Amino acid sequence: MTVTISDIARSVGVSSATVSRVLNSPQIVKEETRIKVLRAMEEHGYIYNALAGGLTRNKTATIGLIIPTITNPIFAISTKGTQNVAKERGYSILLGSTEYSYDVEFDFVSLFYEKRVDGIIFMGAPGHIKSMEFLKKWKIPFVVTWEVLQEKDVNFVAFDNMQIARQVTDYLISLGHRRIAMIAGPPTGTTRAYQRLEGYRHALAAHDLPHNESLIVHKNYTVEDGKEAMSRLLRKKEIPTAVFCGNDILAFGAMAAVKEAGYIVGTDISVVGFDDLDISRVSDPQLTTVHIPAYRMGKMSGDLLISLIEEEVQQPQQYILDSSLVIRKSVGNPSLPRREAGEARIMEGGPGA
Amino acid sequence: MTVTISDIARSVGVSSATVSRVLNSPQIVKEETRIKVLRAMEEHGYIYNALAGGLTRNKTATIGLIIPTITNPIFAISTKGTQNVAKERGYSILLGSTEYSYDVEFDFVSLFYEKRVDGIIFMGAPGHIKSMEFLKKWKIPFVVTWEVLQEKDVNFVAFDNMQIARQVTDYLISLGHRRIAMIAGPPTGTTRAYQRLEGYRHALAAHDLPHNESLIVHKNYTVEDGKEAMSRLLRKKEIPTAVFCGNDILAFGAMAAVKEAGYIVGTDISVVGFDDLDISRVSDPQLTTVHIPAYRMGKMSGDLLISLIEEEVQQPQQYILDSSLVIRKSVGNPSLPRREAGEARIMEGGPGA
DNA sequence: TTGTACGCGTTATCAA
DNA sequence: TTGATAACGCGTACAA
């Protein structure tokens, strides 16, 4: 049925060891035999069996990628970055999407280890305690992205969620906003969502603004969630003048709710997103949001993981990339005519890369 | 280092065969020994080696998923559907994104086969001739989604691209539009893009409308492409009154260009998308577009593939699902005030499931 | 109910 | 430069 190196060996009249050599170290086999072997492979349609190879080498050239959800394009962009380096360096990607469940996360970790991935990339810190224990116990190389960790011994490629969230809030305050709401992820969500919330709180505190928990709405991450959250905020006796959303998707929902209620986004109510999706440049109004280095994180983390696997590099490597607030049209001064800003301006943020 | 069934066997005082049995057919091993073995596994932290298992079983419980691009949410949604069934039925997913390159597609096919996936799902018909040959030669089970194929012997879960595109165009014509443009994918793109173009052409022809090639703009699939394509159309001496876009992303770009040029979407120029992304419900104006069963295709194709792998089903299975035009606010009569339609209406289309 | 022994397809060690 | 042969970790006849 399927042809093996032994078949090739027999047909050429050499040993299977020689056939294996033309695959792995062609230099050390005589050109004449090498050519004969190659030709035989061609003729018989030989296909390498990576399963068998992996078993002896103890190496599969595949990495596991664990992401929160595939349907948010921002994670897709990171995935693309990882996929690109992986392909370039000869690795395949096993994909696992947790839908924000830590149990599912750990399921993937152990499943991936059964399949003997050479390493794992996490978008967001592993949330299940068992995940980290497991990784360390089995010395599985892994890289975390999207979140700065305190541990000095874990590899990450991240940006500072708290710092940029604080910067966004500072910006809104500087425009005169005082009632600033936040539409965040689920209350028991990711640590990076928590960090963003903390950044928001710190900014308010630093400016002696009253901390009003009812201005914080916890939701999931769909457009519909954004709409509902915003509607709820608009039903309050005193509505906020600005809303900081946990991501762009929520912001789109929020903007829709603002319009439906008869307000004008950026004039009556300011909306800020987080992620800077491609489509956020053409929303109406164009969305002021936080640009994060999604593709670069994906690419760098893939590169780093493979370097760890191939032992080109010593642990730990920790990269903190820049993120930045991109000012467009969905934000204005409170209760003043909408700013007719020209070009989008960029405010740099985050420590240097 | 890593503990094997032999280690467990030795520690319990049974043979490795017995240990293997408690993993694969626990019923046939005496409860007492079974418990002892299980306990030993727990203690020693035994982890199954799927590589070795796969080698003997000739089965890996992983499937390959080949998609055009991960960054368009519509493919992500299909991926999610596949991922969900896969997880449920104990399979993992190797992901390959071709970025619309057929060479890359074939690379993934052969790479996946080296890794001995049990089957492959294609989003869109395999474009490289070698892909199909290869699959058939090695009798690799595979399922195609998103496109109806003529071959009677290939499994697919699809919808009728041509038929729905024709229906969209008919709809625009019925509103009075005569100069209808199409912003399509790359000229040498996918067959489904071609089918949509054909549907558009057929509709025009059926209504004796002049066929004007200059109203067809070929682009890639980014927001920016949509903007550029629309801008180009707006620079014509006679601009179109309606534009049918190859997907929602292009439509967002197109709408942005329309607004930038000072026209009103849905009043001056109608825009139709394709895909019905979540965010299309909250764009401004809300996008009239084609709803396609992305999640369902992903789920069904995963289910079908696994059924083929596990030989629960005989080839070939061919499903054609419904797609439908979702009428919202981005379309109106040509040169007439914008329709203030209430609820979105749905026009059913496509043969029954 | 359990053990023996071999095979899966490759790589790696050691000789030749 | 090449060949024998023993791993790698598991599944499975076949026998007991």
Instruction: Please provide the DSSP assignment of B255-297 as one string.
Output: HHHHHHTT--BTTTBEEE-SB--GGGGSSSSPPBEEE--HHHH
C-alpha span between A296 and A291 (Å, rounded):
12
The predicted structure's pLDDT at residue B352: 34
B:38-57 residues touching chain A, CB 8 A cutoff: 45, 47-52, 54-55
Instruction: Evaluate if the CB of A36 falls below 7 Å from strand D.
Output: no
The predicted structure's pLDDT at residue A335: 72
pLDDT in tens, B23-77: 999 999 999 999 999 999 999 999 999 999 999 999 999 999 999 999 999 999 9
Nearest CA of chain A to the CA of B99: how many Å? 10
How do B92-97 and B62-67 pair as beta strands? parallel
Q: Which residues of chain A are within 8 Å of residue B284 when distances are taken between CB atoms? A: 259, 283-284
C-alpha span between A234 and B282 (Å, rounded):
18
- B110 to chain A, any CB pair closer than 8 A? The answer is yes
Best of B1, B245, B279 to substitute, by most chain A Cβ atoms within 10 angstroms, is: B279
Binned at pLDDT 50, 70 and 90, residue A280 comes out as: very high
The predicted structure's pLDDT at residue B338: 38
- A264 to chain B, any CB pair closer than 8 A? The answer is no
Q: Which two tokens stand for residue B44?
A: 């020693």
Query: What is the chain B residue with the closest CA to A258?
Result: B282
The partner residues of B347 in beta bridges, in order of sequence, read: B325
Domains recognised in chain A with CATH numbers: 5-48 (1.10.260.40), 62-159+293-322 (3.40.50.2300), 161-291+327-347 (3.40.50.2300)
C-alpha span between A127 and A112 (Å, rounded):
17
Binned at pLDDT 50, 70 and 90, residue B188 comes out as: confident
The predicted structure's pLDDT at residue A211: 86
The predicted structure's pLDDT at residue B211: 86
Instruction: Evaluate if the CB of B52 falls below 7 Å from strand D.
Output: yes
DSSP assignment of A178-221 equals -SEEEEES-TT--HHHHHHHHHHHHHHHHTT----GGGEEE--S
Instruction: Evaluate if the CB of B14 falls below 7 Å from strand C.
Output: yes
C-alpha span between A318 and A294 (Å, rounded):
16
Total residues belonging to chain A: 353
- A278 to chain B, any CB pair closer than 8 A? The answer is yes
Best of A63, A282, A329 to substitute, by most chain B Cβ atoms within 10 angstroms, is: A282
Cα–Cα nearest to B217, from B171, B175, B251, B265: B251
Percent with pLDDT over 70 in chain A:
95
C-alpha span between B223 and A249 (Å, rounded):
16
Q: Which residues of chain A are within 8 Å of residue B94 when distances are taken between CB atoms? A: 62, 92-95
Q: Is the pLDDT of residue A345 over 60?
A: no
A222, HSE (Cβ side, Cα atoms, 13 Å): 8
Q: Which residues of chain A are within 8 Å of residue B49 when distances are taken between CB atoms? A: 55, 114, 116
Q: Which two tokens stand for residue A152?
A: 């000095």
